Amino acid sequence: MPDKLHDLIQKKLEKAGLHSDQAEEVANHLVYADSRGIHSHGAVRVEYYAERIAKGGVTLDPQVKFEKTGPSSAIFHGDNGIGQYICNLAIDEAIPFAKESGVAIVGVSKMSHSGVLSYYVKKAAENDLICIAMCQSDPMVVPFGGAETYYGTNPIAYGVPRKTGEPILFDMATTVQAWGKVLDARSKNKDIPDTWAVNDEGVPTTNPHDVAGLLPIAGPKGYGLMMMVDILSGMLLGLPFGKHVSSMYANMTEGRNLGQLYILIDPKRFTNLDSFKDDIEETIDELHQIRPAKGFDQVYVPGERGQLREKGFLKEGIPIEKSIYDYLASDIVHTDRYNGLNAFAEKPDLNG
């Protein structure tokens, strides 16, 4: 059940050296991901986090600061603290700032891996704000027309408040599929579609263990989006960009210096909030009434299927791979699986 999974994750992270309040927030986030069926960003990540924490690659007592740089702009300095904790603090500062200024752009500077973006935009939407979020990541994507990796999966998300029910939530990588999905396939020893990635010869592959580069979504369109994300969450904050973004695994004794960006909009500054929410509900109703295509039961709005999964998992329990559960339930902090690997969690080819 979710409470048991949360407890196992929190205790493992605390054993690795993370303070209880930070471990609790990371566990909140990972259970949220698993409960919505986003297993690529759930408990599967715990051993990696534990190894990085134990080896000094996360600042255990980060000196954080929310710095207003203008009437509607700010930077949250994260001091390379654990990503979920840092970004949760940042969005909690950004929400009242956006309420005050009407529109706010808040960068998060220097953090570790921060998980699924929908977690943060959901908090903003629950406070009657529209929120767009984006985050850079380490190079593992072949740009359109190229044969070598340069950008990361560089996700984008948005959340929109509703009158009834949970917010509309959209969260996507700018690749055909997120790297975490490949990791999930590896943990389950399952093939991946040949549209997700290429091997070291640039040829599409179905073997998750042979992945040497992910593919941008819709070719040049995804390539353009991932460049925008890198500019706004990296260069704009004076952080490493493109191929210079730190690898998740290369050196787990150092902070990753990653960047994230939130754009928050208060609908009340543009229209009547109630009528805005009425329009959102009408849109959702109309989408639900559209005749579904063959093979589909209905048209869903972004985030809706995840919400349905969560309701089911809360009743029946969250499915976790046995190997992951066994690790969480063990006395092992980590097994030195990741340090020194390349972006694809493999030993680097020193001859290539």
Q: Which residues are tagged catalytic?
A: 113
Cα separation values, 62 from 6, 19, 145, 208, Å: 23, 11, 41, 36
Asked whether 55 and 48 are in contact (CB, 8 A), the reply is no
Angle between helices 20-35 and 83-101 (to 10 degrees): 80
Asked whether 18 and 82 are in contact (CB, 8 A), the reply is yes
Angle between helices 2-16 and 322-329 (to 10 degrees): 60
Q: Both tokens of residue 74?
A: 């700010």
Interacting residues of 206 by C-beta distance below 8 A, sequence separation 6+:
191, 192, 193, 194
Residue ranges in 102-201 assigned as alpha helix (H) = 118-125, 179-187
Number of residues assigned to the chain: 352
Which residues sit opposite 264 in a β-bridge?
104, 131
Asked whether 261 and 134 are in contact (CB, 8 A), the reply is yes
Compute the distance between CA of residue 314 and CA of residue 331 in angstroms, rounded to an integer: 27
